[in-house]
A = this chain, B = another copy of it.
Amino acid sequence: MTAPRPVIAVDWGTSSLRAYALGSEGAIRDRRASDAGILRVPEGDFAAVFRQQIGGWLDEQPDALVVMSGMIGSRQGWMEVPYCPCPCDLSMLAGGLRRLDWPDAQRWPGVEVWVVPGLSTETAPGLPDVMRGEEVQIFGALPDLFHERALICLPGTHSKWASVADGAVTGFATYMTGEVYDVLQEHSILGRLMTEEPAAADAWFEQGVTLGAEGALLHVLFSARSRVLSGDLPETAVRSYLSGLLIGHEAAAALRDLVRPPPQVALLGAPALETLYEVALCKLGCDVRRLDAEVAAKGLFQVASRLLDGDTIAGLR
A218 touches B176 (CB 8 A): yes
Interface assignment of A223: CB less than 8 Å from any CB of chain B: yes
Contact of A175 among B123, B219, B249 (CB under 8 A): B219
Known A-B contacts A215-B215, A227-B127; the reply to A222 vs B187 at CB < 8 A is no
Interface residues on A, range: 35 or more
Q: Are B173 and A179 in contact (CB under 8 A)?
A: no
A172, chain B: closest CB distance, angstroms: 10
Known: A158-B222, A222-B158, A257-B216. A126 touches B232 (CB 8 A): yes
User: Whose C-beta in chain B lies nearest to the C-beta of A177?
Assistant: B218
A221 touching B187, Cβ below 8 Å: no
Among A129, A176, A180, the most chain B Cβ lie within 10 Å of the Cβ of A176
- A222→B175 contact, CB < 8 A: yes
Task: Provide the bound-state CA to CA distance between A129 and B187, in Å.
Answer: 22
Q: Given known contacts A215-B215, A216-B253, A253-B215, is B128 in contact with A221 (CB within 8 Å)?
A: no
Residue numbers of A with Cβ under 8 A of B are 123-124, 126-130, 158, 173-177, 179-180, 183-184, 186-189, 211, 215-223, 226-227, 229-230, 232, 246, 249-250, 253-254, 256-257
Closest 8 CB pairs between A and B? A216-B253, A175-B218, A174-B222, A128-B230, A183-B187, A183-B183, A176-B221, A176-B222
